[in-house]
Structure 1
Amino acid sequence: MDSKELNYALPKNQLQEMQMAFENGDFIQAAENIKKSIIGINDIPLNIAVTGESGSGKSTFINVIRGLGDEDEGSAKTGVVETTVVATPYSHPHHRNVKYWDLPGIGTTRFEPNKYLDLVKLTQFDFFLIIASERFRDCHIQLARAINSMGKKFYFVRSKIDADLSAFRRQRKSNYNEEQILREIRNNCIKGLHDGGIMCPRVFLLSCLELEKYDFYLMQKTFENELPGHKRHVFLLSLPNIYFQALESKRDALRNQIWKHALASAGKASIPIPGFSADNDIDLLVNTMKEYKEAFGLDEISLNCLAKTFDKDIHDLRSVIKHKLVLKEITHDLVVNLLKRRELTAAALMVTDYAAGTVPLLGSMAAGVVAFGTAYWLLYSFLKDIAEDAGRVLSRALENTI
C-alpha cells in the first residue's frame, strides 16, 4: 500500500467530514453520534409511485427493478388486463424501507383521471414514474399536470422499446438504424408531451427484458442527482445488479460511508483485538459486511435470482468469484479472526497515521485510533474485493446473451 492508494481509500473529502464529526465532541461522542446516523439511514423511507395505462408494463418494471421475476415470491402481479385495483406497495427484498407502489391503471373505465389522485393519496410519494408502452396520452398529461401542481417530481418512461425495435427491424430491413429509431421515438414522445402542455419533459426509453440497455442508467443518474442525499444512498443500494454502472455506483456510495462504520465500531474500543473488545463493535462490522454482500447480490438468495434471470447455472456464476472471503458466511468469529491478522494491523497503522494528519483528535486516542484504522482497512478491502467479484459474476451472467 502506497500514498496513492491511501489517498484513494480515504480521500480528502471524507477526512474533512470526519474532522467535522469531532467538532462538537470527543472521540467517543463522535463515534456514538455517527452510530446513530448509520442506524437512521437504514430506516429512511423511499416511496416511488409507478403508474400508467393497463398493459404498459408497470408491474413488470416494479419486479425487475427489485431484482425479481414475474413469478418470484413477492412479485407484483402482471397481466394483459388491469390487475391492480388499489395502490399496492412492494418492498425491496433487502431494503424494506424502499417501496415501489403499483398504482391502478389510468385511462380505464374504473378509474377516471379526475378522481385518480384522491384515490392514490398523491402526497405520500417521493416521485412518480408515468409509464406508457406507446405514445403518451391525454390521461398521462392530466396526471403530470396535477403532480406538478403539488410540487412533486415526475418522470416519463416509454416502455417495451425492445418490441418497438423488433417491429422496425422487420419494417426497415434495408435501412435499419437503431440509434436513429431511438431518437425518433424519443422526439415523438417529447413533442406529444410538449403539445399537451408539459414543458421540458423527462423521457426515458426502457425495456424491462433488457434493463441494462437504453436509458436505464441515464434514469438512475437523474434520480441520483435529484434525490436528497439520505434518500439517494438507499436508492443506490436498492438497484438491481444486472448492469455494470449499478455496481460502480454502489461501490462509490458504500466507500463514502466506510469511515462512519469504522469510527462507530471503534467508539468503545480497547487494545486486545487491535482495539476491539465489545461484542457490539464486532457485530457492527459483521452487519456491514453482510450488507455489502447483499448490496452486490453475492449472497445465496441473490445469486440464485441472478442465475434464474439469465438462465445460468449458479455453480458457474460462483466459480468466477476469486476472493475466498466473499464466499464465506460472515460471522462474529470470522471477523474476529480477520481483525487479528498481522498484515491487517500493519495496514491499519498506515491508515491511522494518514488520517491523523487531517483529524488530530483521532491521533490522540491511542486505542481508538488503532481500532478505527483496523476496521477501516478491513471494510475497505472487503468492499474492493466484493465489487470486483460482482463484476466478474455479472460478466459471466451476461455471456452469450443477446
Structure 2
Amino acid sequence: SAAFFHLRSNMEQIKQQIRDLTKSDPAAAARKINQYLEQIDDMQLNIGITGETGSGKSSFVNAFRGIKNKDQQAAPVGVREKSKAVGPYFHPNYPNVILWDLPGIGSTTWPTDEYVNKIKFDTFDFFIIASDTPFRVNDMKLAKEIQKMGKRFYFVRTKIDQTLTNEEENEGNFNAERTLAVIRKRCIQGLREQGFEDPPVFLLSNNEWQQHDFPRLHETFRRELFDLKKYALLCVMAAIHLEVTNNKKEAYKDGIKYYGAVSALGAAVPIPGLSVAFDIGMIVKAVKEYVTGFGLHASSLHRLATSTGVPYDDLSFSIQSVLAKGEVTGDVILKLLTQLGSTSVLLATEEWTRFIPFLGIPIASALSFTATHRALNFFLDELASEANKVYRQALGLNRT
C-alpha cells in the first residue's frame, strides 16, 4: 500500500537537516542530534512486525495493542499477503509508536532473497520477529539482516497456547512451566549460537493477553521505549554520517587517478631516487587532505568532543590508524608502504626499470601509476573507516 512506503515527514526533515550539517561540520551535526535527543518523547518509533506467513503477525499487532481481531481498528487477519493492509497501526498507550504488519518472508510474492530490499527494512526503527515454531531459517535471516543494519529486535514465539496443548496431549508427565522453560531455552540458545548475546525472547499467545510472557513484553517495552527511540535516532544519524563519508570517499577516489597520472609523469624523469621521492610526497599530500576532510585531525576531534560531551581522549583512543594519530610524514608513509608489501615492491621495481633502454620509461610510468593508485586507495579506505568509527564513538554507539 502507499502508506507502507511512506517515509515519515518529520523524521525526513530531521535527517535532511543532519545530512546537510554533516557535510560541512560533523560537530555541529552532533550538537543538533543532542538537541533532538532532549525531545525524544515526541519522536516516532516505527516498528516492523515481521516473520513467515502464518506465524501470527497480524494477530500479534492487534493483541499487542489490546485490540480484538474483529475490531474496526484491527489489522486484517487471515488475508492474502499480497492484498493485506500493512499499516500504520497506532498504539493506544504510546501515541508515537507505530506498528507495521509486514508481509511474510518466503512467500511467492515476497521471496526470501528479495524480501529486505522490497520491504525497505531501513525505513523501520525497530523490529519484532514473530514465529510459531522454535526457530526457522528465515527467522535467522531476518535477525541477521536486522543486526547488519545495526538495529534491534525482539523475538516473539507466538501460538504458545497451541504448543502447550499439543505437548500435554503427547506427554505423560506434562508440566506447563517446565515445557515453557525448555522452549525459551531453545529459542535463546538458537539465537546465541548465531552470535546474538542475551536476545530478548517472549513466549505468548495472541488469544491470552494476560498470560505467559505478554505482561513481561509490555513491561519490557515500556521500560526500554526511551532507549529504543534514542538508539533508533542515533542509528539514523550514524547511517547519515556513513553516507556522507562514503560520498566523500568516492570523490577522493576520483582524484586518485589524477595523482596516479602525475606520478607516472614523475617516473619519466631519469634521475635516481627522484620518482620515489616524488610519489611519497604526493601520497603525503593526499593523505593529509583525507585526514582533514574526514574530520580526523585534532581540531575537528576537539570540536566533536565539545559538541557531544564525549572526552577528547576517548575519541582519540578509538582511532587505530597511525595516519590519523600523528603527523603524516614521508617516513610514516614509507614505513606503511613497506608493510603493504606489493606496493613497496612496485616502487622499488619502478626505480631501476627507468634506466632500461627504450622500454624502461613506459614500464616505470605504469608501475608508478599502479603503486600510487593502490597505496592511496588503501589509505583512503582506512581513514574513511576510522571516521565512521570515531563518529559512532561520539554518539555512544560503540558502547551500546
- TM bucket by the smaller chain? 0.3 to 0.5
Structure with more helix by fraction: 2
**TM-score with structure 1 setting the length:** 0.44
Max radius of gyration: which structure? 2
Please, what TM-score do these two structures have when normalized by structure 2? 0.44
